[in-house]
Amino acid sequence: MSIPTISSLSSKKHSLITSAESMVHEGKQNTDEYRALLKTIDETQSHLEGLERVERWERSLPNPVQAAPVTNVPTIIRTTAEQEGVQRRDKRSRLNAALRHAIQYGMSHTNETRDLSTISDSSGAALFGQAFEDQDEWTRALANVAPLTQKIHVKFSPDGSNRKFVTSDQTQQFMLTLGETTATDAADSTPTIHSNITGNLAPIVGRTTVSFQTLADVDDLVGYLRDGFAVQAARAQELAILKGVDHAGTALVSSPVGGLLAAPQWEQRWQR
């Protein structure tokens, strides 16, 4: 048995009405057959109206979720290195722009402060060291100028506080066999620990006068300052490591006297 639809019930209704009209023309409107036909027409009409109400209700429901069409659109995925490169270039560009603005108009007129520190000292100075707080920048700047500074054990201290080094000379420590029947303990030794830097970190400072014209003509202002001043800083650091002094020969407060070259037990003399 097929399920009645609006279309099939409409056809049935029209067919029944046609039959009823024929019976009227034939003068059979007072017969039981004609009355049964009218009853069937009413039932069909009722059935038809019921289906139409269901259909209107269905149309009022929200549309069901459709599956997304499958397409072959390629997705561009940047590698981490590419993203870092873009970010680094963006940062450098912003920093250069901010620096130029600060140099021309002063820090008080600088809108961009994300890469600039607005800390000022009593003379109105403005720091912009953030770019150089990236250890990579610093290391790259020093690598070719003073490779010695890359060879020692370096710890960075963003806040200027001291750091502790813990190391021991394990070439002077030994391990011994433990006999199967011996009652003697294995040799026990405690290595000498070298760790502390005493005192506060010594500040080393240099100052240079740069003309507006020079600063305005430099393509990469941050790179110019970094590469230029890195030579000064690298030489100062080298001197501090090897001799423990600044350029004037003044001993640094937080370094061993005489620096790396001074310890007499390290000297190696040769017979000639």
**Residues in region 47-76 near other proteins by CB under 8 A:** none
C-beta closer to other proteins: residue 10 or 137 = 137
Q: Which of 6, 20, 154, 251 binds other proteins (CB under 8 A)?
A: 154
With CB under 8 A as the contact rule, the residue among 125, 184, 185, 219 that binds other proteins is 125
Cβ contact 112:98 at 8 Å: yes
Rank residues 47 and 226 by Cβ distance to other proteins and give the closer one.
Answer: 226
The residue whose two tokens read 């029947």 is 181
Of 184 and 271, nearer to other proteins (C-beta) is 271
Considering only 114, 122, 209, 219, the residue that binds other proteins (CB under 8 A) is 209
Q: Contact with other proteins (CB under 8 A): which of 9, 95, 98, 102? A: 102
Q: Does residue 265 bind other proteins (CB under 8 A)? A: yes
User: Looking at residue 107, what DSSP letter applies?
Assistant: G
Q: Which residues contact 153 (CB under 8 A, 6 or more apart)?
A: 165, 167
| Residue 199 touches other proteins, criterion: CB under 8 A | yes
Q: How far apart are CA 83 and CA 76, in angstroms?
A: 12
Quick check: 77 and 86 in contact, CB under 8 A?
A: no
Using the minimum distance from each CB to other proteins, give the nearer residue, 64 or 160. 160
Q: Nearest to residue 156, comparing CAs of 171, 137, 170, 174?
A: 137
The separation between the first and the last C-alpha atoms of the chain, rounded to the nearest angstrom, is 121
Determine if 205 is a binding residue for other proteins (CB under 8 A). Answer: yes
Distance set, CA 27 to CA 14, 19, 227 (Å): 20, 12, 116
Shortest Å distance, C-beta 82 to other proteins: 27
Altogether, the residues listed in the chain come to a count of: 272
- Check residue 147 for interaction with other proteins (CB under 8 A): yes
Contact indicator for 44, 79 with CB cutoff of 8 Å: no
Candidates 23-31, 61-69, 179-187, 252-260 — which segment interacts with other proteins by CB under 8 A? 252-260
Scanning residues 222 to 251, which ones bind other proteins (CB under 8 A)?
Answer: 225-226, 229-230, 232-233, 235-244, 247
Nearest partner of 240 among 161, 146, 170, 175, judged by Cα: 146
Q: How far is the CB of 161 from other proteins (least distance, A)?
A: 8
Give the contact letters, 155-194, x = binds to other proteins (CB under 8 A), - = no: xxxxxx-xx-x-xxx-xx---------------------x
Shortest Å, Cβ 166 to other proteins: 9
**Tokens 């023309």, located at residue:** 25
